[in-house]
A = this chain, B = another copy of it.
């Protein structure tokens, strides 16, 4: 791929990240971005149609590889196996996040972080439905299924949120333990 494109794209992403730490998403103007990125106006529009388009593209850049795991294929009908693979999968995701900590810390600490959590939550919901949902115990079955899924994704989201809020103070294994404490009363058989 053309190195000019790579360079400009990175400059825009970096500028976007910096501006997000300075003001909220809807206060950021295209002018802010091109000045911070030090590029021409028409160059920005050659890469992205709108600010929303940029947001979406950066979320793909941030989160796609995090969930691009083939562990989902390891799903099992045996509870103990499936529970172990779920644990591995979640820890795996946390390590992926840790790999990109420098960028994600800024993103998750920013005023408009909710926008990014939305994009984080969507692919995670898929994994929950496929991996964690079959492990529901009796108590959980009293809940409507969609509420159960919402609850699990929110729980994991909150734990990760807390993790970044505390400057990644705990190792992924401990964070995964915390999630088990909050959510696994509804999962363990």
Contacts and interface: CB of A to CB of B under 8 A. Distances in A.
Contacts of A144: 162, 166, 178
Interface residues of A, number: 27
Contact of A151 (B118, B140, B155, B166): B155
A119 B19 CA distance: 24
Contacts of A158: 147, 150-151, 154
A25 B150 CA distance: 24
B139 A181 contact: yes
Contacts of A151: 155, 158-159, 182
Q: Report the copy number of this chain in the oligomer.
A: 2
A155 to B, nearest CB: 7
Interface string A87-116: 000000000000000000000000000100
A42 interface: no
Interface string A110-147: 00001000100000000000000000000110111011
Contacts of A56: none
B118 A147 contact: no
A150 B43 CA distance: 42
A142 B182 CA distance: 10
A186 interface: yes
Contacts of A182: 143, 151, 186
Nearest to A157: B154
The 9 closest A-B pairs by CB, nearest first: A185-B185, A26-B26, A147-B162, A154-B158, A114-B114, A151-B182, A150-B158, A154-B154, A151-B158
Interface of A: 25-26, 114, 118, 139-140, 142-144, 146-147, 150-151, 154-155, 157-159, 161-162, 165-166, 178, 181-182, 185-186
